[in-house]
């Protein structure tokens, strides 16, 4: 009898252990299933993404590419170049062209026509806000604050402002040296078309392809004044000074707080973009994945690279359009 009770007890213990093991195994199996789903959502990709275009947008996109290759998809190579907005569109709007074109102005009608001719579907992605910034030499102690009209007049050939004393009588009677990016850049086009209303710049203006060259030239010339995107000023504050602009309510310094489409620096604020070749995005998963990653992280990377961030509404609108391509 005692042996029978002992045997029954052992059988009961064994049954409990078997039930517990079965429940535990079920939990483990469910966890593995969840991990498999998670891995499926972040599938590893391979391939390449090729980007060219705006020198203004370059710091933003270069940082984005670095983050993507380091933190998101190590198997994808993202190549970022900076031929300039207009030169970049020529590489983008071509057979087997680039996957993205960064732009510091919106795509033009003739570029849209070329895309249609080549049957390239193009998706505009607004990525950040930039402030057109006017920089001077650090030793320039007279032009730290200028009105909007004074700045425009300096860069308009028809106004004939050749000396600083032509701007204000109490300024030095020294020749004004004007500088800016050349015609390959969207920043030049924004200045020419939007600020100067397509009127000629001074004949003596020195236009350059590389922004680093402009920084160097202004830093060595006490009578220089140049224009380019805020980010290049932000990263060269030790060499240059930014002009505070009076738009009618007192001088406004360009900063990430004042640069906004409805902010204090609004008259000199512009959106910047990248344009996606939708055909490539549908053919190459890594291209669409990079586009989505860019918009998901655009606000943070903008702040890190000298741009004011997009609104949440703009960000969500772009993400909805991109997710619709899946």
For residue range 225-235, what is the model confidence (pLDDT) as tens digits?
Answer: 999 999 999 99
Task: Give pLDDT, residue 41.
Answer: 55
Cβ-contact 270, 188 below 8 angstroms: no
β pairing state of 206-208 and 177-181: parallel
Domain 47-128+273-323: give its CATH code: 3.40.190.10
Average of per-residue pLDDT values in the chain: 90
Q: Is there a common fold for 47-128+273-323 and 130-269?
A: yes
For residue range 45-97, what is the model confidence (pLDDT) as tens digits?
Answer: 999 999 999 999 999 999 999 999 999 999 999 999 999 999 999 999 999 99
* CATH architecture under which domain 130-269 falls: 3-Layer(aba) Sandwich (3.40)
Task: Return the percent helix, strand and coil in the chain, to nearest 5.
Answer: 45, 20, 35
For residue range 253-282, what is the model confidence (pLDDT) as tens digits?
Answer: 999 999 999 999 999 999 999 999 999 999
* The model's pTM: 0.83
Helix (H, G, I), strand (E, B) or coil at 9: helix
Q: Residue ranges of the domains in the chain? A: 47-128+273-323, 130-269
Q: What is the mean pLDDT of residues 160-171?
A: 98
For residue range 179-218, what is the model confidence (pLDDT) as tens digits?
Answer: 999 999 999 999 999 999 999 999 999 999 999 999 999 9
- Cα distances (Å, whole numbers) of residue 142 to 137, 179, 245, 255, 316: 11, 18, 13, 21, 44
What percentage of the chain has pLDDT greater than the value 90? 87
Residue ranges in 162-277 assigned as alpha helix (H): 164-167, 186-190, 211-219, 230-234
Task: Give pLDDT, residue 43.
Answer: 85
Task: Please count the other Cβ atoms lying within 10 Å of the Cβ belonging to residue 25.
Answer: 10
- Nearest by Cα to 219 from 241, 243, 242, 239: 239
């Amino acid at each position: 009898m005692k042996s029978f009770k002992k045997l029954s007890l052992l059988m009961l213990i064994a049954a409990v252990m078997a039930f517990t093991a079965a429940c535990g195994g079920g939990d483990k199996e469910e966890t593995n299933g969840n991990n498999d789903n998670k891995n499926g959502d972040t599938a590893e990709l391979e391939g390449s993404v090729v980007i060219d275009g705006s020198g203004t947008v370059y710091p933003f996109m270069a940082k984005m590419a670095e983050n993507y290759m380091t933190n998101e998809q190590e198997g994808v190579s993202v190549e970022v170049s900076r031929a300039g907005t207009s030169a970049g569109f020529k590489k983008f709007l071509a057979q087997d062209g680039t996957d993205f074109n960064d732009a510091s102005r919106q795509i033009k009608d003739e570029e849209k026509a070329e895309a249609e001719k080549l049957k390239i579907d193009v998706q505009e992605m607004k990525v950040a806000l930039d402030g057109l910034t006017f920089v001077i030499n650090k030793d320039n102690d007279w032009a730290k604050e200028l009105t909007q009209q004074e700045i425009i007049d300096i860069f308009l050939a028809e106004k004939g402002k050749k000396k600083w004393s032509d701007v204000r009588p109490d300024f030095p009677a020294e020749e004004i040296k004007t500088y800016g990016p050349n015609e390959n850049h969207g920043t030049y086009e924004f200045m020419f078309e939007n600020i100067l209303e397509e009127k000629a710049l001074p004949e003596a203006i020195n236009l350059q392809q590389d922004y680093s060259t402009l920084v160097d030239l202004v830093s060595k010339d006490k009578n220089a004044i140049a224009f380019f995107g805020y980010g290049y000023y932000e990263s060269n504050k030790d060499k240059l000074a930014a002009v505070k602009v009076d738009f009618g309510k007192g001088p406004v310094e360009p900063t990430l707080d004042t640069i906004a489409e409805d902010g204090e620096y609004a008259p000199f604020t512009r959106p910047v973009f990248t344009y996606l070749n939708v055909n490539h995005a549908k053919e190459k998963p890594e291209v669409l994945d990079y586009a989505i990653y860019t918009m998901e992280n655009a606000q943070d990377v903008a702040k890190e690279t000298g741009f004011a961030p997009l609104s949440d509404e703009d960000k969500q609108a772009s993400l909805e359009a991109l997710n619709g391509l899946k």
